[in-house]
Amino acid sequence: MPIPGNLLTTAMAVMPHKDVDRALAMALSLDIPFWPQLPLYSYYEDMYVQASEHFPGMVLDMQKRTLRFSMDRFMDEFEEAMTHFDEPEYFDISHTYSVVYHRFLELDLSGYAAIRGQLEGPISFGFNVKDEDDRPILFNDTVRPFMIEFMAKRINVQLARLKKKNPNAFMFVDEPGLQFLFNAMAGYSDQAAHRDLEIFFSMIERPRGVHLCGNPDWDFLLNLDLDILSLDVYSNGEIFSSYAPSIKRFLNRGGVLSWGMVPTNFEPFEKEDMKSLEIRLKTIWSVLGKHGIDMDFLLSRSLLSPATCCLVNPDGEKTVEKAFEFVERFSRKLRDDYGLE
C-alpha cells in the first residue's frame, strides 16, 4: 500500500517559519515528510500564489500581497497557456514560486516510508481568487473547466517528481473552501462541486486525497474517489464520528485517514497533555468500533498529525514546533499501546 498507516506521522504544509532550514528540519522529523509552505518567508510561498503560477489572467501584487484575476488578461493569455499544455515542466512549481520545494527535491528522501506534496485544490482556489467585480472565479463557467484541468496537471507533475525521490509519494489537495459549500453560498452548489471534483480526481494520478481543517459535509468527502482524507479531529471529531457508516465504506475500499489531533494554536496546545489527547482520540475510535469498524483494521489505515496549520501564534513558530515534537511522541505511545511496528 503506497500510503502507509499504523499511526505514522505527517503534517499539513503551511508553517509560520521564516527560516527555510528550520522548517525543513521540522518536516523531515516526521515519518512522512513534506515540503513546507512558508507564506511569512515570502508571498510566493503562499499556497494560493503557488497554485497560480502560469494560470492566465492572474494579477499578482507582491508589495500588497494580493492575488486577483482579470478576465481581459485571461483572454489575452489563454492562447499562450494552451501552447504549453503538453509540457510537464510548465505545470511544475518554479524556483521563484518556491525555494522550499526545490530544496526538498535536492534531498535524499528514499529512506522514508513515504513522502508527500500538496497543491491548492480548484474549489478553494476558485473561491479565494476574485475578478474585477469581486466575484470568485469559481462562479465563472468559462474559467472553471479550464481551472479544473490546469490544477490536475499541476498535481500530476508534482507527484511524478516526488515519486522519483520516493516511490511511495502521494499528494494532498488542500481544500479549505469545501466547508463553505454547505452554507447556501449563491452561485455554486454542493452538487456542482461534487460533479466537478469527480471530474478533477478522474484526471489525477494516484495516490491522492484531500486535506482540510474545517467542518464540511463529511459524506460529501468520504464518497469521493480519494485515497486519503486528512482532517482536524481535535475540533471536529465528535461530528466526524457520527458518519461511521461512510467512514467504514471509505476504509473498506482502501482509504486512509490522517487524524489531526494535536492542536497547534497556542491556547489549546497549552491546556492539553498526552493523557487528555489520548482519551479524546480513543473515544472517537470507540464510537467507530461500536459501528462495526475493526480497531486493528482502522489503525492499519491511520496516520497521525497536528490538527491544523497556524500562522498567528504569539510565539511565532515555537508552539508549532512543540506540536510536531508532541505528535511524534504521541504516535510512539499509541503504537506501543496497540503493538504496532
CATH class name, domain 8-338: alpha beta
User: Per-residue confidence of the chain (341 residues) as pLDDT tens digits?
Assistant: 589 999 999 999 999 999 999 999 999 999 999 999 999 999 999 999 999 999 999 999 999 999 999 999 999 999 999 999 999 999 999 999 999 999 999 999 999 999 999 999 999 999 999 999 999 999 999 999 999 999 999 999 999 999 999 999 999 999 998 887 766 555 688 888 889 999 999 999 999 999 999 898 899 999 999 999 999 999 999 999 999 999 999 999 999 999 999 999 999 999 999 999 999 999 999 999 999 999 999 999 999 999 999 999 999 999 999 999 999 999 999 999 999 97
Q: pLDDT at position 147, please?
A: 98
List the domain boundaries for the chain: 8-338
Q: For 249-271, b where at least 16 C-beta lie within 10 A, e where not — what string?
A: ebbeeebbbbbbbbbbbbeebee
Q: pLDDT at position 341, please?
A: 79
Look at residues 211, 266, 310 and name the one whose alpha carbon lies nearest to residue 10: 211
Q: Measure the CA–CA gap between 128 and 268, rounded to whole angstroms.
A: 28
Compute how many other C-beta atoms are within 10 angstroms of the C-beta atom of residue 138: 24
Torsion of CA 145, 148, 154, 160, to 10 degrees: -110
Q: pLDDT at position 12, please?
A: 92
Q: Residue 303 contacts by C-beta under 8 Å, 6 or more apart in sequence?
A: 3, 4, 5, 7, 8, 9, 10, 32, 228, 230, 256, 257, 258, 259
Q: pLDDT at position 191, please?
A: 85
Ordered DSSP codes for 153-208: HHHHHHHHHHHHH-TT-EEEEE-GGGGGGGS--TT--HHHHHHHHHHHHHTSPSSE
If phi over 0 gives left and psi between -120 and 50 gives alpha, with beta otherwise, what is residue 87? beta
Q: Measure the CA–CA gap between 294 and 264, rounded to whole angstroms.
A: 30
Q: How far, in whole angstroms, is CA 201 from its chain's centroid?
A: 14
Look at residues 19, 24, 60, 62 and name the one whose alpha carbon lies nearest to residue 43: 62
Question: pTM here?
Answer: 0.96
Whole-number Cα distances in Å, 333 to 27, 107, 263, 328: 20, 29, 17, 9
